[in-house]
Structure 1
Amino acid sequence: MSSKLTVTKSNLLIDASYRLNVQAQKLVLACLSKIDSRPDSEPKKEIKLTAIEFSELMKIDIKNAHRELYKAADALFKSSILLRDEHEETELYWIQKKVKKLHGEGAVTLVWSDEVLRYISHLKSRFTTYKLHNIASLQSGHSIRLYELLMRFNSTNIRVIALDDFRSALGLEGRYPQFKELNKFVIKQSVEELNQRSDLIITYETIKKGRTVTALAFTFKQNKQMKMDL
């Protein structure tokens, strides 16, 4: 069943700046997959997710699923999203209140914030949809974010992104100030993991102004034979 589930996010949200650990990202995506994205559907503000569902959707060992689910819930409560345009900067919170842990049921109940719900509840303008199982095996939060950024441009299979925008989208402001470090610890590792564990085959080049790297050019295509055996 999980192979048919899709995740739909507003493209504005995809390009926003936020940093979530891998468990919290997978919690968000698992909950998003339970939202009916048809335009005529009613928004679902409260989502209940069991550890068993989390385990099945995200390929997490059932023995660890409860612990991972509760850790993800704690991380999500402390995290925010930064939306930027040329005129203003707005900070939103993913959830309205601390996630309720239903220990007896091995589940959590999440309540989206009103602001975030506007972006994820309806398909009204530009949205990106991808299958949940394509990112379930990823072990890095950076890899999940890169996957989302690329899939927004899956109609062209090319994405050119300014280096500052890339840092911002992955929540890396102030980290890896030298491109050599960013490339070694974030970009290369994320591309390698996506090539191994997702349905994408990715290459990238740097764009320079003089000797300074100013942008990244990603080229990608979908691999119908997903390498999920690692």
Structure 2
Amino acid sequence: MEQDRQLVVKSNHIIEASYRLSVAEQRVILSAITQVRRDQQKVTDEVLYSITAAELAELCGTDPKTAYRDLQNAAERLQTRRVTLHLEPDGVTIRSKRRRVTCWVQTVDYIDQEGRIELRFGKDILPYLTGLQREFTRYALSDVAKMTSAHGIRLYELLVQWPEGHRVVPLDDLRRWLQLEDRYPSIKDFKRWVLDPAVEQINEHSPLTVTWSQRKTGRKVTHLVFDYAPKKPPVAVGKAPARAAAKRKGSKYSDEDIARMALPGESWEAARARLNQLPLELA
């Protein structure tokens, strides 16, 4: 499996949608999303996307038998999982926002002898996975594949949606996105059971290093502040020729440096412009 080439691409409407999926369910959905052909003008909801237990085991580093059990259970539950999309008004004179409640998948086929399922995305979900020209988030499936926290995967998506490396998130919005409005009402419990495990998983398994702090309005915690950056790779030997060539082209960094240091979701041009403002010693 060519894991590095498996890209998850979602509309930001889905990134900030309200839903709750288990880790196994998210792995199935994300694996199917990587197969969506976005280079085609129109992708219908008749297309079947195939996920095997062997592929999930390889991707996530789990036992194949466990992966097959998780695949079966996740596929069963996905039939009932819903997602609430928060849409912008359709017209200038319409001030009320629209909420759309829909299902992730419409059908799941089981091929037991092959340890494989095939699923069709719901008709209302598919437009948020295809034909995306703006306001979308992209990252490698391998960035989150080994996470064991469902909240960690969601938080990672919310961070890479903003490649600037800094995001302030209203606590009420985060609760709504994770469908935790009525759970962990104490900020102490929310940190213990949601936030701290999610950040720990991101720091352990993703390409990012994350720190966070909180802001209060009066005595109440109302916002969470996240600062994040790519993990610093080991210093490599033999970079001088590549950097010398880059310098001759009028750039501080070689193409290899830029590819290595780009933030998840950051375009090539934006990464080059940002890195050219940094001292060379930070590479």
TM-score normalised according to structure 2 size: 0.75
User: Which position in structure 2 is the counterpart of 1:89?
Assistant: 99
Query: Is the partner of 1:78 in helix, strand or coil?
Result: coil
| TM-aligned CA deviation for residue 39 of structure 1 | 5.5
Query: 2-side partners of 1:225 and 1:57: how far apart?
Result: 22
Structure 2 vs 1, CA of residues 66 and 182 (structure 1 numbering), >3 Å: closer, same or farther?
A: same
Choose the corresponding residue for 2:143, options 134, 143, 154: 134
| TM-aligned CA deviation for residue 3 of structure 1 | 2.1
Identical aligned residues as a percent = 35
When structure 1 is superposed on structure 2, of 67-76 and 78-87 the one drifting more is: 78-87
Moved over 6 A (4+): none
| TM-aligned CA deviation for residue 76 of structure 1 | 1.3
Q: Does 2:220 match 1:212?
A: yes
**More RCO (CA 8 Å, sep 6+):** 1
C-alpha distance after superposition, 1:178-199 (max 9, x if no partner): 1111011110111112111211
Q: Quick check: 2:13–2:86 contact (8 Å CA) kept in 1?
A: no
Q: Does 2:30 match 1:29?
A: yes
Q: Which runs of 5+ in 2 are unaligned?
A: 88-95, 235-283
User: Which position in structure 1 is the counterpart of 2:91?
Assistant: none
Q: Does 2:178 match 1:167?
A: no
Q: Quick check: 1:191–1:202 contact (8 Å CA) kept in 2?
A: yes
Query: Is the partner of 1:109 in helix, strand or coil?
Result: strand
Q: Quick check: 1:204–1:218 contact (8 Å CA) kept in 2?
A: yes
Q: Give the root-mean-square deviation of aligned CA atoms.
A: 1.7
C-alpha distance after superposition, 1:7-45 (max 9, x if no partner): 101111010000001100011111111112236464573
Q: Which runs of 5+ in 1 are unaligned?
A: none
| TM-aligned CA deviation for residue 202 of structure 1 | 0.3
- Equivalent pairs, count: 224
| TM-aligned CA deviation for residue 224 of structure 1 | 5.2
User: Which position in structure 2 is the counterpart of 1:8?
Assistant: 9
Query: 2-side partners of 1:37 and 1:55: how far apart?
Result: 26
Q: Quick check: 1:2–1:56 contact (8 Å CA) kept in 2?
A: no
Once the two structures are superposed, the pairs formed by residues 1-230 of structure 1 within 5 Å of their partners are 1-38=2-39, 40=41, 42-43=43-44, 45-85=47-87, 86-97=96-107, 99-154=108-163, 156-223=164-231, 225=233
Query: Is the partner of 2:124 in helix, strand or coil?
Result: helix
- Residue identity in the other structure for 2:122: S
| TM-aligned CA deviation for residue 92 of structure 1 | 1.1
User: Over alpha carbons, which structure has the higher Rg?
Assistant: 2
Q: Quick check: 1:21–1:75 contact (8 Å CA) kept in 2?
A: no
